């Protein structure tokens, strides 16, 4: 029996309050309005950015259905939707691509003005939400809300992918993989033979390493306080790994000495102000490029000595690896299908969706890289 045009009752993980576990609830998901798409989720990854919402580091209106690294199948479409049809395999896009705004028209930029990150409303483009639970409206999260058996997204925030793609793997292209990989190949533009330092060896940091290796960097130094992360980092291309806690001096001094003056490219993939400063300082004073990938704690500032930039360093940052989401995600899926990069090493755990709190526990304890929740 078709569910198109009807309210769907299904399970979703609702975050009612900060610093509380997710609550698996029955929610109502209303049909998509014009230019909207309702998706049956098949798989979703757990990213540290979701956890940043739980801790309060990343602000978004609550109660909300989080999750932004998913893949699913179109259940129904609203009026006027042409980009996808029921049955299509799709990836929701937490950075939309409307195709019409000044950012979408810019050849390099990807942070479409329709994003819900800078001033999050936790709604669809029309300012309302498609979820209710126990009679209350429940907010969306960054245009996606993948921690639900069904979700509704704007047409600008979803893209069709190869019908043969394994959704329980390519969901990582919805965030972690693309963010890390793009930070290396598109934002930093890592060059052959270069030296790179990657601070933070989680799912996103390891994807930076995959990107540095693909760009044929000669030396890739992983930096993490959890030594359990080193084996995987080396398997994916790190040539050495170091722990800042093993040294008496700041890690940027260690890296500067190790590399005879500083690395060519550095990446902060943790989300801490102190490591952002260390990553900037460890790149070469005359030509180093440092990229901020980690999401910093909300409303905190970092003071820095402008001399660090005056001598020639470049300091950058990007959301979603600088990729224009609609243009890039289908191509990245095709590249994965053509074995151009791996995703399997990033997946350490697979759990049924109902065990979402266990999945977050694995992330917080440093035991997982990516946990995939399956529906």
Q: What x/- string results for residues 89 through 128 when contact with ligand PAD is judged by CB under 6 A?
A: ----------------------------------------
Q: Is residue 222 within the footprint of ligand PAD (CB under 6 A)?
A: no
The residue length of the chain stands at: 375
Residue 48 or residue 130: which is nearer to ligand PAD going by CB?
48
Q: Please report whether residue 49 would count as binding Zn ion according to CB under 5 A.
A: yes
Let me know if 283 is a catalytic residue. Answer: no
* CB-count exposure of residue 231 (10 Å: 0-12, 13-18, 19+): exposed
Residue 284 a catalytic site member: no
CB 369 within 8 Å of CB 202: yes
Q: Which of 98, 112, 171, 175 is catalytic?
A: 175
Verify binding: residue 199, ligand PAD, rule CB under 6 A. Answer: yes
DSSP characters over 76-142: EE-TT--S--TT-EEEE-SS---SSSHHHHSSS----TT-SSSS---S-TTS--SEEETTEEEB-ST
The tokens for 28 are 């109502």
- Please tell me the distance from the alpha carbon of residue 254 to that of residue 299, in angstroms, as a whole number: 30
Binding mask 240-279 for Zn ion (x = CB under 5 A): ----------------------------------------
- Is 349 labeled as catalytic in the residue annotation? no
DSSP string across 257-289 = HHTTS-BSEEEE-S--HHHHHHHHHHB-TTT-E
Q: Considering only residues 108-147, where is the footprint of Zn ion by CB under 5 A?
A: 112
Check 49, 76, 143, 266 and give the catalytic one.
Answer: 49
Question: Considering the complex, what minimum distance in angstroms separates the CB of residue 277 from ligand PAD?
Answer: 12
98 touches Zn ion by CB under 5 A? yes
Residue 325 as a binder of Zn ion (CB under 5 A): the answer is no
273 Cβ contact list (under 8 Å, min separation 6): 296, 297, 300, 302
Nearer to ligand PAD, 35 or 323 (CB): 323
What residue ranges bind ligand PAD (CB under 6 A)?
A: 47-49, 52, 175-176, 179, 199-205, 223-226, 229, 244, 269-272, 275, 293-295, 319-320, 366
Give the catalytic positions in this structure.
47, 49, 52, 68, 175
């Amino acid at each position: 029996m078709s569910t198109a045009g009807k309210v769907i009752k299904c399970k979703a993980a609702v975050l009612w309050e900060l610093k509380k576990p997710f609550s698996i609830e029955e929610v109502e998901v209303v049909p998509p309005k014009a230019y909207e798409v309702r998706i049956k989720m098949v798989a979703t990854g757990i990213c540290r950015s979701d956890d940043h919402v739980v801790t309060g580091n990343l602000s978004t209106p609550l109660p909300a259905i989080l999750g932004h690294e998913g893949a699913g199948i179109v259940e129904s479409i609203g009026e006027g939707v042409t980009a996808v049809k029921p049955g299509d395999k799709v990836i929701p896009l937490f950075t939309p691509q409307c195709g019409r705004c000044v950012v979408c028209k810019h050849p390099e930029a990807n942070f479409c003005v329709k994003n819900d990150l800078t001033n999050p409303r936790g709604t669809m483009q029309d300012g309302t939400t498609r979820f209710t639970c126990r009679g209350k409206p429940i907010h969306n999260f960054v245009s996606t809300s993948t921690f639900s058996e069904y979700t509704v997204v704007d047409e600008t925030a979803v893209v069709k992918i190869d019908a043969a793609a394994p959704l329980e793997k390519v969901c990582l292209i919805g965030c972690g993989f693309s963010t890390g990989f793009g930070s290396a190949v598109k934002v930093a533009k890592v060059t052959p033979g270069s030296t790179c330092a990657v601070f933070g060896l989680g799912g996103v940091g390891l994807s930076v390493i995959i990107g540095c290796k693909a760009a044929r960097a000669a030396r890739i130094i992983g930096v993490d306080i959890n030594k359990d992360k080193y084996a995987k980092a080396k398997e994916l291309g790190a040539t050495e790994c170091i722990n800042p806690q093993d040294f008496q001096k700041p890690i940027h001094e260690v890296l500067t000495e190790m590399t005879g003056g500083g690395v060519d490219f550095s990446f902060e993939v943790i989300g801490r102000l102190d490591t952002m400063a260390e990553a900037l300082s460890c790149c070469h004073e005359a030509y180093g490029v440092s990229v901020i990938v980690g999401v910093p704690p909300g409303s905190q500032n970092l003071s820095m000595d402008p001399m660090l930039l005056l001598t020639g360093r470049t300091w950058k940052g990007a959301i979603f690896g600088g990729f224009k989401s609609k243009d890039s995600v289908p191509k990245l899926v095709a590249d994965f299908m053509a074995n151009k990069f791996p995703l399997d090493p990033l997946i350490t755990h697979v759990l049924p969706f109902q065990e979402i709190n266990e999945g977050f526990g694995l992330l917080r304890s440093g035991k997982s890289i990516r946990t995939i929740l399956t529906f």
